[in-house]
């Protein structure tokens, strides 16, 4: 064993460290402004954030989990030509391209927090763990707020609907 136990530990513990206000950095990934709306216990919550990948390789977000909900699913919303909004599960995860970013925002990708165990009240934080294909897990906290954070508004990359 040439590696010290400390180094091995550093390689496996990948708690995301808060960076700028509400942002988390984990390796080449930045998780920006995670937030969710107020909701009652037993209801489904919806989580939003932006995932940016500054690295040279794509990273896939495989799934997410939270002690605050019975289950967390990755969904995408889309508008049919008839103007009907529908959503579907993204069981294969979501690829964050090298040098790119993916917005989880109203009308697009989002996290469904199925069966909230407690109410989400304004100002509280809901913990969610993101699990990536490179073996990393990032624990982030969704801030409970009624309206999108300023940084999440007006993101042109998210607007693909006609
Ligand atoms: Cu959904």
- Dihedral in degrees, nearest 10, Cα atoms 113, 118, 122, 123: -100
pLDDT digits (tens, 9 = 90+) for 51-98: 999 999 999 999 999 999 999 999 999 988 999 989 999 999 999 999
How many angstroms separate the alpha carbon of residue 49 from the centre of ligand 1?
A: 14
How many angstroms separate the alpha carbon of residue 11 from the centre of ligand 1?
A: 33
pLDDT range class, residue 16, cuts 50, 70, 90:
low
pLDDT digits (tens, 9 = 90+) for 102-131: 999 999 999 999 999 999 999 999 999 999
pLDDT surpassing 80 at residue 17: no
* Cβ atoms of 49 and 35 closer than 8 Å: yes
How many angstroms separate the alpha carbon of residue 94 from the centre of ligand 1?
A: 14
How many angstroms separate the alpha carbon of residue 110 from the centre of ligand 1?
A: 6
Helices (H) and strands (E) in the chain, counts: 1, 12
Record the pTM.
0.80
pLDDT range class, residue 150, cuts 50, 70, 90:
confident
How many angstroms separate the alpha carbon of residue 15 from the centre of ligand 1?
A: 26
How many angstroms separate the alpha carbon of residue 87 from the centre of ligand 1?
A: 6
């Amino acid at each position: 064993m040439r590696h010290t136990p400390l180094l091995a530990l550093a390689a496996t513990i990948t708690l995301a460290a808060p960076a700028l206000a509400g942002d988390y950095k984990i390796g080449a990934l930045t998780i920006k402004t995670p937030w969710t709306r107020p909701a009652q216990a037993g209801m489904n919550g919806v989580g939003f954030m932006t995932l940016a990948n500054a690295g040279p390789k794509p990273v896939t977000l495989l799934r997410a989990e939270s002690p605050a909900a019975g289950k967390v699913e990755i969904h995408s919303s889309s508008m049919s030509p008839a103007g009907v909004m529908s959503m579907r599960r993204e069981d294969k995860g979501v690829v964050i391209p090298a040098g790119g970013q993916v917005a989880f925002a109203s009308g697009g990708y989002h996290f469904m927090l199925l069966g909230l165990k407690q109410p989400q009240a304004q100002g509280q934080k809901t913990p969610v763990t993101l699990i990536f294909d490179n073996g990393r897990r990032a624990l982030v906290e969704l801030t409970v707020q009624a309206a999108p954070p300023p940084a999440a508004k007006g993101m042109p990359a998210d607007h693909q609907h006609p």
